[in-house]
């Protein structure tokens, strides 16, 4: 390895190149022009029957390629990120006043209005049901949806309990459960809500403020009506 270092240093000296860049940064990397000149000269001076084994030379190739590639990738990703953020901001600004579907275990019941949402079924089930619980965790309504195929299954709750009495306005918890191979399994629920405003949230991502469910990330929006 020592011989390789001396050979490379001698070659640098003969070419009038320095291992330190002219911008006075404290690193030992070659600039692009100097690196290419060194590489071509060293290749031209090799004995074809006995090529030079220079560990430092190979390390320089790897280091130069890696650093140069990372810089180019960083620049590309920065441009892509800016473009994506601008596109998301434009899309989010058009959501105000519209209804969106977001993942949620809660629904906000308002007097005289139905609550609606979707349950995703991975496979067909002979029995799907939705339970509605109040703030104390007490069951107030069981909605039997029966046999359902795989896919998105819509549901709605009219705000009444199992006896048909109207429940007070407020936030309720919903739980979906289906039977698969004789075993009950909990499923994720998605709820519709109206967008009241959009927070561009520079530095922390775009968020949408919903009428009932509060603030959620723009990326969590599943569907727009």
Write out pLDDT tens, residues 124-143: 999 999 999 999 999 999 99
Confidence at residue 134, expressed as pLDDT on a 0 to 100 scale: 96
The CA-atom distances, in angstroms, between 84 and each of 77, 79, 88, 96, 199 are 10, 9, 6, 20, 16
Across the range 178-192, mean pLDDT stands at 95
Point out which residues pair with 175 in neighbouring strands: 131
1: Cβ contacts below 8 Å, ≥ 6 apart: 55, 56
Confidence of residue 193 (pLDDT cuts 50, 70, 90): very high
Secondary structure class of 141 (helix, strand, coil) = strand
Confidence of residue 21 (pLDDT cuts 50, 70, 90): very low
Confidence at residue 212, expressed as pLDDT on a 0 to 100 scale: 93
The CA-atom distances, in angstroms, between 51 and each of 2, 12, 43, 48, 179 are 17, 18, 9, 6, 70
Confidence at residue 54, expressed as pLDDT on a 0 to 100 scale: 55
Domain limits of the chain?
2-92, 99-224
Write out pLDDT tens, residues 58-109: 565 665 556 555 555 565 555 555 555 555 666 667 888 999 999 999 999 9
Report which DSSP code applies to 47. B
Higher pLDDT, 107 or 202: 107
Q: Are 119 and 187 in contact (CB under 8 A)?
A: yes
Strands (E), 38-124: 99-103, 106-109, 115-121
pTM: 0.60
What average pLDDT is seen over the chain? 77
- Over 60: is that where the pLDDT of 114 sits? yes
Lowest mean pLDDT segment, chosen from 15-29, 71-85, 167-181: 15-29
Q: Are 126 and 147 in contact (CB under 8 A)?
A: yes
For domain 99-224, say whether CATH 2.60.40.4070 is its number: yes
């Amino acid at each position: 390895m020592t011989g390789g270092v001396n050979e490379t240093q001698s070659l640098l000296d003969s070419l009038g190149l320095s291992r330190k860049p002219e911008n006075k940064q404290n690193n030992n990397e070659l600039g692009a022009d100097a690196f290419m000149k060194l590489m071509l000269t060293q290749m031209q001076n090799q004995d074809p029957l006995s090529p030079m084994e220079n560990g430092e030379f190979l390390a320089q190739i790897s280091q130069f390629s890696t650093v140069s590639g990372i810089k180019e990738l960083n620049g590309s990703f920065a441009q892509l990120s800016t473009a994506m953020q601008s596109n998301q901001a434009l899309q989010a600004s058009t959501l105000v006043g519209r209804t969106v579907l977001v993942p949620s275990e809660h629904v906000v019941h308002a007097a005289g209005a139905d609550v609606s949402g979707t349950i995703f079924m991975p496979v067909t089930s002979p029995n799907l049901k939705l339970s509605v619980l109040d703030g104390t965790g007490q069951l107030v309504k069981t909605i039997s949806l029966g046999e359902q195929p795989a896919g998105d299954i819509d549901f709605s709750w009219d705000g009444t309990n199992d006896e048909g009495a109207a429940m007070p306005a407020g936030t309720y918890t919903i739980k979906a459960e289906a039977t698969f191979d004789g075993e009950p399994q909990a499923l994720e629920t998605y709820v519709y809500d109206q967008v009241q405003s959009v927070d561009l949230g520079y530095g922390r991502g775009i968020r949408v403020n919903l009428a009932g469910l509060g603030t959620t990330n723009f990326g969590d929006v599943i569907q727009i009506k």
